[in-house]
Amino acid sequence: MQLVIVESPAKAKTIEKYLGKDYKVLASYGHVRDLPPKDGSVDPDAGFAMEWELYRDKQSRFKEIADAAKKADRLVLATDPDREGEAISWHVQELLAKRKALPKAVDRVTFNAITKTAVTEAMARPRELDQPLIDAYLARRALDYLFGFTLSPVLWRKLPGAKSAGRVQSVALRLIVEREREIEAFRAEEYWSVVARMQHDGTEFDARLVKFKGVKLERLSLGNAGIAMEAKAAVEAGRFTVEGVETKPVKRNPAPPFTTSTLQQEAARKLGFSAQHTMRLAQSLYEAGAITYMRTDGVQMDPGAIHALRDAIAARYDSAYLPEKPRFYSTKAKNAQEAHEAIRPTDFTRERAGSADEARLYDLIFKRAMASQMATAQLERTTVTLRDATGSHELRATGQVVKFPGFLAVYQEGLDDSEDEDGGLLPQMKAGDQPAKRSVEATQHFTQPPPRFSEASLVKRLEELGIGRPSTYASTIQTLRDRAYVRMEKNRFFAEESGRLLTAFLERFFPTYVAYDFTAGMEDELDVVSDGREDYKALLARFWRDFKPKADEVMEKMPSEVTEALDDYLSDFLFPPREDGSDPRACPLCAAEGRSGGRLSLRGGRFGAFVACNNYPECKYTRRFAQPGGEGEGGAEDGVIGQHPETGEDIHRKTGRFGPYVQMGEGKEAKRASIPKDLDDFDLDWAVKLLDLPRIVGAHPDTGLEIEANIGRYGPYLRHDGKYGKLASTREVFEVGMNRAVAILAEAANRGGGARGKSEPIATLGAHPVSGGEIKVMPGRFGPYVTDGTTNATIPRDAKPEEVTLEAAIALIDARAAKGPAKGKAKKKAAPKKAAAKKAPAKKKAPAKAKASAATK
């Protein structure tokens, strides 16, 4: 018997069918072990020795593999064809060797697609494990561990509210924060455009003023309404004649088939998918045999696939759409190193695969691959120049016509943040023609700041800089969101104050390690290791020699020293110059109350940084860190916003270190309520509503007990008889009616979310590759469990629910689903005993919590 190890159960089933009875195919369910999240897992003093630990939830899974290996004559390691796949194979081999279960014959095979041909051909060409590729994995894993587990404790002690830092994660965050700074520093400039609406031979078109009083107009030339109106009047008064018509042929060639990075970018642009969602869908399509391997930097395609694709094009279109020779592409991405094909369908006669989002992504991959081998598009761009009789003023009209669509008949690549080109049709004109002028418009514009990053543009920028690997971008971006360093609004990244503060801290104290060239250079060095040209331990030694002393130096500083340094470093942001020339650090509350010497500075608190007055405790002025100069939701807006309509008491709007809030009354009797972020129109009416919470919706029709609507730590909710239901928004707290409330509570109870206490998921991990349901880690009455909405699986007692990975959750759910529905009968309730109650035994003291793991990527 020959034992084949792959990563996923779906792949295992498919491959076992291809190979026949002599083969047993088992899944490792991803990585089987990792560096335990504790100090000492990588020991620089012992030659960077690494301590590996089998995942708790993989114990039984790996025992099955080890038992099968003892009976096998040959072990075939057939994990994915990349660095991570090579690492998983190495881990499996090492563990089997330790358990003395390793067969005498061990081979490594890789295939780029899960088709019968690809798999059988790969089995006929086995090789040994690629040790340089494994060394590069070990180096990357050790680097990420050393960075995270050395730097994160520094953050916890010196930067209140910070959660973690990562080698790639922190640099990606810096990109987002720097863009935020550029937007804040941007000052809009006014400019105007003058456009004439013309008509010729019954066709209307627009012509833009490009020369005024003999001077060529630049973008900002018409800088105010006065000169714009003068230019408009000149165009209205002038009689314009066609001076020249220039027609220029334009060719456009197709883009290459997808790589990991370009797939993520296009799926974000065209389908609105996140990078993580795109990769999950692509994984499912790959495991179903529909597409080639989806983690790749390569843009080339197998010659056999190109031949099949050309046949498919010829079958669908006439010969003009098929170029005489195949197209061959080479990658332009920095640090591209994967020797795989581009992402493409495995069968070009198959136009559809999967369902729902999978089908949409497959359609994108299919069309992009097909277009890559199609003919060049032929366009014609026409430019018409019109001048008035004096020759001082000039209009220009442009248009574009597609003469032959070529690849555009199938696919057109999306763009980020680009303005539409003038592509309208123009009537046939020649020199001397005088089109009729229908109207003239002068339009005011303002220059725009650089756009915030979308997932597509952030991935593109990371790839351009050579930072990280496309296969890791999805997890890197998700980590930033999970840590609440950034948020997404309208598919754009906004830096949260915790992210800004962390970036400032790293720039001030660890500038080398968040420098773009350093991080990209490290990727170059890892590539040298993967090529076998350098020992990975030498790379680690160079990194550690400089990094450890720097971390120790910062760790020795007092928190007050760190805060003082950041106060100085962020001075221009926190305390920008005031228009009246007054001291930007002067405390407004002290000035209003007649106190002298009140000056503002950055302070560190238990839950993060904030700005406060040095006259504390006499002055209790505070301002959130991310409110430069007291603008926006800052102290400048604090004060009485009105009186309560029933009690007549003043309602104050205030800003504390946790954000804006309203208060009525003073001292211990004061009522306070935080101002939710989703209230854009906050006013006195909203303040009264918030202070009057909780709201009683009414009596439940079944129990007669009250249903309460309120806002809590985890957002707006309903409560009834100790059970909870989540509301979608703050407004719903005040609008939800009885019927809707009963329905929400019933749905929550059916999902297992009706128990007393925390009903929010402990973690949301991603979609199940088979059911498609979102996998969540949930608290339960009998202990934490994972669910995809269909199957619930209990988490083993020795596993921490916060540390459950997506792969582990999938394994638990699949194992539970394989057992079928529970067969046991419900136990009858025992009759209550009348014996005297006994004193309950004392509970054992819970063990101390383990140190929180640091994110390393």
Other CB atoms within 10 A of residue 215 CB:
9
Paired tokens of 581? 């020339």
Q: Residue 134: which of 520, 536, 521 has the closest Cα?
A: 536
Residue 694, judged by CB atoms within 10 A of its CB (0-12, 13-18, 19+), counts as: middle
CA 229 to chain centroid, in Å, comes to 46
697: three-class secondary structure by DSSP: strand
Cβ neighbours of residue 492 under 8 Å, at least 6 residues apart? 451, 452, 453, 454
CA 789 to chain centroid, in Å, comes to 23
Pairing mode of beta strands 105-108, 74-77:
parallel
Q: Residue 653: which of 686, 612, 694, 608 has the closest Cα?
A: 686
Q: How far apart are CA 112 and CA 341, in angstroms?
A: 7
| Beta-carbon-side half-sphere exposure of residue 145 (alpha carbons within 13 Å) | 23
382-392 in b/e burial notation, b at 16+ Cβ within 10 A? bebbbbbeeee
The one catalytic residue in 29, 191, 293, 485 is: 293
474-501 in b/e burial notation, b at 16+ Cβ within 10 A? bbbbbbbeebebbeeeeebbbbbbbbbb
CA 267 to chain centroid, in Å, comes to 13
Yes or no: say if 309 and 36 are a contact pair by the CB < 8 Å rule: no
Q: Which residues pair with 766 in a beta bridge?
A: 775
Paired tokens of 167? 């080698």
CA 167 to chain centroid, in Å, comes to 16
Amino acid at 701: P
Paired tokens of 452? 């915030």
Cβ neighbours of residue 527 under 8 Å, at least 6 residues apart? 136, 335, 337
Other CB atoms within 10 A of residue 776 CB:
19
Paired tokens of 729? 């928004």
Q: How far apart are CA 170 and CA 515, in angstroms?
A: 10
Verify whether residue 293 is a known catalytic residue. Answer: yes
Paired tokens of 173? 């965050």
26: three-class secondary structure by DSSP: strand
Paired tokens of 87? 């690492």
208: left (phi over 0), alpha (psi -120 to 50) or beta: beta
Yes or no: say if 465 and 266 are a contact pair by the CB < 8 Å rule: no
Q: What share of the chain is helix, strand, coil (3-state, %, to 5)?
A: 40, 20, 40
Paired tokens of 68? 């099968």
Q: How far apart are CA 477 and CA 461, in angstroms?
A: 13
Yes or no: say if 300 and 260 are a contact pair by the CB < 8 Å rule: no
Q: How far apart are CA 453 and CA 490, in angstroms?
A: 11
Yes or no: say if 31 and 13 are a contact pair by the CB < 8 Å rule: no
Yes or no: say if 643 and 650 are a contact pair by the CB < 8 Å rule: yes
Q: How far apart are CA 536 and CA 526, in angstroms?
A: 8
CA distances 675 to 138, 650, 663, 681, 691, Å, are 48, 17, 10, 11, 10
Helices (H), 189-272: 225-237, 260-266
Q: Which residues pair with 695 in a beta bridge?
A: 709
Catalytic residue numbers? 293
